[in-house]
């Protein structure tokens, strides 16, 4: 009776998973292999061999990696500060800090344009102060880098804050009583404990930055990255096979990143 009840619960989930995930994925994979009436890896080799596609691949990887590293560093400092300090208005500060999470990517893109576009606040202010209109980089890779940081930092802060807040500070105090400096206590006691959360947050930030579309669509006018290239191939060039191959490549990179972080955590746990 209990087994029958389990089947009634599991079967609908399997059907929904197969219909909405496995089936579209199989169709996408087959489409990505189509070339001149047959199946081959031509569309994939084109992403590597064609300088136009390869440059977009490298831009996406560099951008996602840079955003992840900088966001981890800044968010780590902020999360540690918030978890270890109480001050008036902390709840409001925390709310404002995590506010960008609720914004769609397109809105974040427009905010960067308002700040660093040709008629943005910062270039106009620079022109008033120095006579030269500088800091105009909304549509460059610097602009999209800042936009990605804008919504990645709050995500990582929220992820790390709980782990650092719940950390047993008696362990840190024990290290201090044994002669460790404050930095040594953090380096050898606190950081190893929250390391898995750091890695998890980093993998999530990388995957999000690698596949983000709304912000990139608003700002990526002067350089190529894979999500925009996929959109252009699908809607402008009607090259559905190459667009499907790019989609598979983006998905595979994100999957490999998540597998890598899980293997790293298992290795750390096995020590």
Same domain, residue pair 160 and 216? yes
34 - beta bridge partners? Answer: 39
CATH of the domain at 187: 1.10.3720.10
Q: Give pTM, 2 decimals.
A: 0.83
Q: Which candidate, 32, 155, 47, places its Cα nearest to that of 101?
A: 155
- Total domains in the chain come to 2
Q: Residue 141: CB partners within 8 Å, gap ≥ 6?
A: 59, 63, 222, 223
Same domain, residue pair 180 and 248? yes
Same domain, residue pair 243 and 204? yes
Task: Answer for the pair 245, 44: CB distance below 8 angstroms, yes or no.
Answer: yes
N- to C-terminal Cα separation, the chain: 43
Q: Which candidate, 25, 63, 17, 79, places its Cα nearest to that of 220?
A: 63
Residue 46 lies in a domain: no
- DSSP reduced 3-state for 35: strand
Same domain, residue pair 34 and 63? no
Parent domain of 4: 1-39
Residue 183 lies in a domain: yes
Residue 122 lies in a domain: yes
Q: Tokens representing 195? A: 């390391």
Residue 44 lies in a domain: no
Residue 82 lies in a domain: yes
Residue 45 lies in a domain: no
Residue 93 lies in a domain: yes
Same domain, residue pair 116 and 200? yes
Same domain, residue pair 31 and 125? no
pLDDT of residue 61: 93
Q: What is the pLDDT along the chain (271 residues), one digit of tens a residue?
A: 556 666 777 888 888 888 888 898 999 999 999 887 788 898 999 888 999 899 999 999 999 999 999 999 999 889 888 888 888 888 888 888 877 777 888 888 888 899 998 888 998 998 888 888 888 888 888 888 999 998 889 888 988 888 888 877 777 777 777 777 777 777 788 788 888 888 888 888 998 888 888 888 888 776 788 988 998 888 888 889 999 999 999 999 998 888 888 887 777 665 5
Q: How many residues does the chain have?
A: 271
Same domain, residue pair 24 and 64? no
Same domain, residue pair 236 and 263? yes
Task: Answer for the pair 143, 110: CB distance below 8 angstroms, yes or no.
Answer: no
CB atoms inside a 10 Å sphere around CB 100 = 18
Q: What is the DSSP letter of 50?
A: S
């Amino acid at each position: 009776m209990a087994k029958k009840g389990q089947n009634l619960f599991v079967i609908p989930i399997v059907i929904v998973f197969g219909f909405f995930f496995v089936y579209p994925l199989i169709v996408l994979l087959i489409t990505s292999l189509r070339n001149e009436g047959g199946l081959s890896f031509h569309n994939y080799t084109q992403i590597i061999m064609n300088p136009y596609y390869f440059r977009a691949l490298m831009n996406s990887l560099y951008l996602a990696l840079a955003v992840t590293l900088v966001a981890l560093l800044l968010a780590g400092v902020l999360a540690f500060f918030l978890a270890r300090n109480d001050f008036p208005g902390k709840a409001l500060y925390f709310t404002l800090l995590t506010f960008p999470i609720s914004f769609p990517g397109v809105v974040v893109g427009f905010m960067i344009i308002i700040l660093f576009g040709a008629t943005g606040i910062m270039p106009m202010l620079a022109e008033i102060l120095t006579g030269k209109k500088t800091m105009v980089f909304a549509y460059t890779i610097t602009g999209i880098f800042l936009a990605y940081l804008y919504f990645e930092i709050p995500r990582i802060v929220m992820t790390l804050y709980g782990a650092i807040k719940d950390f047993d500070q008696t362990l840190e105090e024990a290290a201090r009583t044994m002669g460790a400096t404050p930095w040594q206590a953090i380096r050898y006691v606190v950081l190893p404990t929250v390391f898995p959360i750091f890695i998890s947050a980093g993998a999530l930030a990388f995957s999000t930055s690698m596949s983000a579309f709304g912000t990139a669509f608003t700002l990526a006018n002067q350089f190529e990255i894979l999500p925009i290239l996929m959109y252009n191939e699908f809607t402008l060039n009607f090259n559905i096979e190459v667009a499907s191959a790019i989609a598979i490549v983006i998905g595979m990179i994100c999957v490999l990143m998540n597998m890598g972080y899980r293997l790293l955590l298992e290795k750390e746990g096995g020590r």
